[in-house]
């Protein structure tokens, strides 16, 4: 198993698809795993990259991101969501990402993810858009 993230002040970057930005802010469902994520939400670590570089790497693989928002490790921990380092090796479709990490929602019933996501979205919105 990969190393758990323990620095509660570390910001974890989340890419927000342009279609999921409403009135200049992310939709609340952007801070929970999507159906094909098996309860694990992808983020990038601010200890290893910055928001601009995270965004550039993400879109370099042909994916779309209209903004980068962030939630701290501590804010995830307040919701009983553990985060862990999960560096990705390069594939045919995507470059390597040494800053990749996972927020693990699997300790919660899936029906609770929506409310957790709403609370985390409020924290991310309060922090503001981190890029661009």
As a whole number of angstroms, the distance between CA 83 and CA 69 comes to 16
As a whole number of angstroms, the distance between CA 5 and CA 95 comes to 23
Q: What total number of domains does the chain contain?
A: 1
In a domain, 2, yes or no: no
**Predicted local confidence at residue 54, as pLDDT:** 98
Nearest in space to 68 (alpha carbons), one of 112, 2, 110, 13: 13
Question: Going by DSSP bridges, is the β-strand pair 67-72/11-16 parallel, antiparallel, or unpaired?
Answer: antiparallel
In a domain, 35, yes or no: yes
In a domain, 5, yes or no: no
Which pLDDT tens digits describe the chain residue by residue (132 residues)? 589 999 999 999 999 999 999 999 999 899 999 888 999 999 999 999 999 999 999 999 999 999 999 999 999 999 999 999 999 999 998 999 999 999 999 999 999 999 999 999 999 999 999 999
Nearest in space to 120 (alpha carbons), one of 5, 31, 19: 31
Domain range spanning residue 101?
11-127
In a domain, 1, yes or no: no
């Amino acid at each position: 198993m990969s190393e758990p993230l323990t620095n509660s002040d570390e910001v974890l970057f989340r890419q927000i698809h342009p279609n999921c930005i409403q009135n200049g802010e992310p939709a609340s469902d952007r801070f929970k795993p999507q159906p094909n994520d098996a309860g694990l939400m992808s983020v990038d670590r601010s200890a290893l990259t910055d928001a601009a570089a995270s965004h550039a790497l993400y879109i370099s693989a042909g994916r779309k991101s209209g903004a980068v928002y962030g939630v701290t490790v501590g804010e995830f921990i307040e919701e009983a969501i553990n985060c862990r380092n999960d560096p990705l090796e390069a594939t045919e479709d995507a470059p390597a990402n040494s800053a990749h990490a996972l927020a693990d929602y699997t300790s919660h019933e899936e029906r609770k993810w929506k409310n957790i996501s709403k609370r985390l979205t409020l924290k991310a919105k309060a922090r503001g858009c981190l890029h661009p």
